[in-house]
Amino acid sequence: MTGSAANENASPWLPVEDREKARDQKIEAVQDMALTLFIEQGYHHVTMNEVAERLNVTKPALYNYFRSKEDILYSCWMSGHERLQQRVGAELGEGSGLARLRRLIRIYAETMTTTYGKSLVLLDDRDLDEINRRAILERKRNLDGLFRKLIADGVADGSIRPTDPRMAAFAIAGALNWIGHWHRVDGPMTPEKIAEDFAQRLTAGLERDDG
Amino acid sequence: MTGSAANENASPWLPVEDREKARDQKIEAVQDMALTLFIEQGYHHVTMNEVAERLNVTKPALYNYFRSKEDILYSCWMSGHERLQQRVGAELGEGSGLARLRRLIRIYAETMTTTYGKSLVLLDDRDLDEINRRAILERKRNLDGLFRKLIADGVADGSIRPTDPRMAAFAIAGALNWIGHWHRVDGPMTPEKIAEDFAQRLTAGLERDDG
DNA sequence: ACTTTTGATTACCCATGGGTAATATCCATA
DNA sequence: TATGGATATTACCCATGGGTAATCAAAAGT
């Protein structure tokens, strides 16, 4: 362990990178702890003092890593979005509109069972200033656009029966986002089970009757 | 700035001469105005001063009608729930599980397009003290239970294909609750259109293939 | 008319909590 | 062992905003 740089040329001059790495780890620790508390109690009920305490430091120490509480909130949301985008980019793949939509639903549902996934739904962009808020709203729009596009593609390629992509996207995204509200880690179903169930359930009414 | 100064919340205090309104109307006016602002800006960004100002009164006047800000929040949620329950009790009617489920979806969807309906989703019960919070959580559980029961009834009477009532209820309630997030009064669809669309859409995958 | 009640106003209190200043500590480098 | 950069601590500031006390004005009862 800690063998990050257990290198052959035992040079005692490794610390510069290690320090940066340590700093990044601390940034992440602050973010993780803050997010966990935000999800549990709601942003406005979490104090910077509490975040610090839970990390065994004092409040001003946090300001070495984030400029403000709001800055943490923004980072949390963005990290959640990045993780989702990462998987979408890697796993959406090719195929019919319906096939890709099902894959998106699986990815989205699984993500919603993680703390960072929940941040996409449970954090309120109205707690951010205009600049950051706009950045998030744009990403939300893009996400909505992806749902609509896959549905429209499916209608076009015949894998999905004719339907209003806007309403279909609202219905699907709503069901998925709601996972962030009801999911508990000690619940009866694994994230994969939930994802599989929803991928079928949310597209069951969209398939063409004729095969 | 959150736009539309056009607010249908009329203030009983506007004309200083005819301050002859009933107490109940004033209570309702306070509640309506507070709720409108809560929905627009989020509970924590609304000050008692702002609520009062918008009603052409000063802050302490509000405390003639509500004991606290939290008390207003609680009343808002409860009023929303009462209106929903009212319609459910009156309009759910008889019939197969599927038929009753569709009626519930229509009622719920329409309600979600009103300010009081939105309060059920957009207000956070964690902003309440334990007593009030528990009262709300119980009502939320009952509502969830109603969805599950209608689905289970439908499976039992054969109008709905075998499915997990818990997951089906989560998916449907999620899609419905999400309306509160995306619906805008100046949107392209009337509440009735939305309700009809969702009643079909959210049950399209639940019908029996045969039949 | 006179007193009581209701409801509004002005002026204020004060707990909370985000954020900062000054300072101390640690540690690799020279 | 001295220097300097990074990071932590103690002690503090202060804007915000929910809520109250004292007071006043207009209905309403008698």
Give yes or no: residues B50 and B124 share one domain: no
Note whether residue A71 is domain-resident: no
Pick the closest to residue B163 from A80, A201, A72 (CA basis). Answer: A201
Give residue B22's pLDDT: 77
How long is the CA B60 to C1' C12 vector, in angstroms? 12
pLDDT at B57 over 50: yes
Q: How many residues appear in chain B?
A: 211
Residues contacting B38, CB < 8 A, separation 6+: B46, B73, B76, B119, B122, B123
Closest-CA distance, A17 to chain B, in angstroms, reads 42
Note whether residue A9 is domain-resident: no
Q: Which CATH number belongs to the domain containing residue B111 in this structure? A: 1.10.357.10
Note whether residue A4 is domain-resident: no
Q: State which H helix or E strand residue B138 sits in.
A: helix B130-157
Give residue A19's pLDDT: 60
Q: From first to last of the 211 residues of chain A, give the pLDDT tens digit.
A: 333 333 333 333 334 455 667 899 999 999 999 999 999 999 999 999 999 999 999 999 999 999 999 999 999 999 999 999 999 999 999 999 999 999 999 999 999 999 999 999 999 999 999 999 999 999 999 999 999 999 999 999 999 999 999 999 999 999 999 999 999 999 999 999 999 999 999 999 888 765 4
Tell me the residue ranges of DSSP E strands in B31-173: none
Q: Which CATH number belongs to the domain containing residue B56 in this structure? A: 1.10.10
Give yes or no: residues A85 and A25 share one domain: no
Note whether residue B35 is domain-resident: yes
Give yes or no: residues B87 and B189 share one domain: yes
Note whether residue B1 is domain-resident: no
Does A167 contact B124 at a Cβ distance shorter than 8 Å? no
pLDDT at B141 over 70: yes
Domain count of the fold of chain B: 2
Best mutation target among B170, B184, B196, B202 (most A Cβ atoms within 10 Å) is B170
Pick the closest to residue A64 from A23, A35, A29 (CA basis). Answer: A23
Give yes or no: residues B92 and B194 share one domain: yes
Give residue B82's pLDDT: 98
What is the domain range of residue B59? 6-66
- Tell me if chain A has a CB within 8 Å of the CB of B174: yes
Nearest-CA residue relative to C1' of D9: A58
Q: What is the mean pLDDT of chain B?
A: 91
Give yes or no: residues A121 and A194 share one domain: yes
Of B38, B66, B94, the position where a domain reaches its end is B66
Note whether residue A8 is domain-resident: no
**What is the tens place of the pLDDT at every residue in B108-129?**
999 999 999 999 999 999 999 9
Give yes or no: residues A112 and A183 share one domain: yes
**What is the tens place of the pLDDT at every residue in B21-49?**
679 999 999 999 999 999 999 999 999 99
Percent of chain B predicted with pLDDT > 70: 89
Give yes or no: residues B23 and B83 share one domain: no
Give yes or no: residues A30 and A102 share one domain: no
Note whether residue A127 is domain-resident: yes
Cβ burial A115-133 (10 Å sphere, 16+ → b, else e): bbbbbbbbbbbebbeeebe
Q: Which CATH number belongs to the domain containing residue A23 in this structure? A: 1.10.10.60
